[in-house]
Amino acid sequence: MTYRVRRQCRPGRAHASSEPRSPGASGPEAQARRGRADPTSRALRVRPPPRPSPAAAAGPAARHEERSPFPTASIPAREGFGVDQLRDDNLETYWQSDGSQPHLVNIQFRRKTTVKTLCIYADYKSDESYTPSKISVRVGNNFHNLQEIRQLELVEPSGWIHVPLTDTHKKPIRTFMIQIAVLANHQNGRDTHMRQIKVYTPVEESSIGKFPRCTTVDFMMYRSIR
């Protein structure tokens, strides 16, 4: 049998007890449960962390600037006659501009590319006043340092127009960008038509070895891999 020992305390002093105290039996929380919370004490409020915004949760926005697909038009095109028609290998379709002159078609490459020839298909019989009569060809690294290398005067063209892309030494040009500017149309037309645009690079011969041309039927049967 155990006995509790309690001593008489003087007035004004808290009495001591040999009874063990359980954890959490004292303090503001215990007093609050007994209805005797200290009015001078303040409960610590833990604020939940702010919710991240959708932009912050997704991380920093990607700033990779992809170069525009080849080619692009800097002036709005008429609906259904966009720049995709310049590469569809169909001479019956065309790109039509929709704005004031000059009309620009920008061709951009992902890396510096060696180019040799620019080909434009025009047909005056089909396009009439929409046919370009004056074209400027410019090259450069970006929009801020374009330089004109050719200016063409066209008189009722019908077919492919070949524009050499060479420097003053007659060597192919290395560039990031080609810009085709239509400065004027036939019959003072406002908008313009372009049916096809193609860019060619120089053909490099293989250094492995050169083989003679096949002239007989027996050799021509095996000149390509099937």
Could you say which DSSP state residue 69 is in?
Answer: P
Structure tokens at 34: 């007994």
Q: Binning pLDDT at 50, 70 and 90, where does residue 83 land?
A: confident
Query: Given a cut of 70, is residue 194 above it in pLDDT?
Result: yes
Cβ-contact 73, 82 below 8 angstroms: yes
Query: pLDDT, tens digit, for every residue of 120-168?
Result: 999 999 999 999 999 999 999 999 999 999 999 999 999 999 999 998 8
Domain ranges in the chain?
69-200
**Percentage of the chain with pLDDT > 90?**
46
Which H/E stretch holds residue 34?
A: helix 27-34
On average, the pLDDT of the chain sits at 74
Please tell me which residue, 90 or 4, carries the higher pLDDT value: 90
Where are the strands (E) in the chain, listed by range? Answer: 72-73, 95-96, 103-115, 117-123, 132-140, 147-153, 158-164, 173-185, 193-194, 196-200
Whole-number Å distance between alpha carbons of 90 and 101: 26
Domain 69-200 has CATH 3.10.20.30: no
